[in-house]
Amino acid sequence: MKIFFKHIIFLGLGLILSLKLIAQDIHFSQFYANPLQQNPAMAGAVYGMEGSILYKDQWRAIGSPYKTFAASYDVRFEQRRNRNGYLAGGLNFFSDVAGDSKMGSTNANISLAYLARLSKYHRLGGGLQLGYLQRKVEYNGLQWGSQFDGLNYDPSLPNGEQNFGPNSVGKFDMGLGLSWVYNNTGGDIRVTDNHDLNFSAGVGLFHLTKPNIAFNSVEDRLPMRFVAHANGVISIQSTKLAVVPGFLYQRQGKQQELYIGSLFRYLITQDSKYTGLKNASAFYWGAYIRARDALTLKIRYEYAGWGIGLSYDINTSSLKAGTYARGGLEIALVYTAPNPFIKTYGANHSRY
Q: In 17-102, which ranges are E strands?
A: 49-58, 66-77, 85-98
Shortest CA distance to 330 belongs to which of 14, 123, 70?
70
- pLDDT of 21: 39
pLDDT of residue 2: 41
- Domains along the chain with CATH numbers: 2-337 (2.40.160.40)
- The whole-number pLDDT of residue 309 equals 98
* Whole-number pLDDT of residue 131: 97
Give the C-alpha distances (Å, rounded to integers) separating 250 from 35, 205, 313.
Answer: 14, 10, 18
Residue 36: which residues within 8 A CB-CB, separation 6 or more? 42, 43, 72, 74, 90, 91, 92, 109, 111, 129
User: What single-letter DSSP state applies at residue 342?
Assistant: S
Query: Which residue pairs from 296-301 have beta carbons closer than 8 angstroms and sit at least 24 positions apart in sequence?
Result: 296/29, 296/261, 298/29, 298/30, 298/261, 298/263, 300/263
CB atoms within 10 A of CB 20: 11
Q: In this structure, are residues 229 and 34 in contact, taking their beta carbons and an 8 Å threshold?
A: no
CA distance 136 to 141: 12
> Which has the closest alpha carbon to 106: 94, 90, 119, 118?
94
pLDDT in tens, 10-57: 334 443 333 343 445 778 999 999 999 999 999 999 999 999 999 998
The answer to whether 289 touches 260, Cβ cutoff 8 Å, is yes
Give the predicted TM-score (pTM) of the model. 0.81
CB 75 within 8 A of CB 108: no
Please report the sign of the dihedral spanned by the C-alpha atoms of residue 258, residue 68, residue 37, residue 252: negative
Specify the 3-state DSSP secondary structure of 38: coil
pLDDT tens track for 232-263: 999 998 899 999 999 999 999 999 999 999 99
Cα–Cα distance for residue pair 252/175, rounded to 1 Å: 14
User: Average pLDDT per run of 10 along the chain, which is 352 residues long?
Assistant: 39 38 70 96 94 87 76 88 87 84 84 94 96 83 66 69 71 97 69 76 97 83 96 92 96 95 93 62 96 94 94 81 70 90 46 32
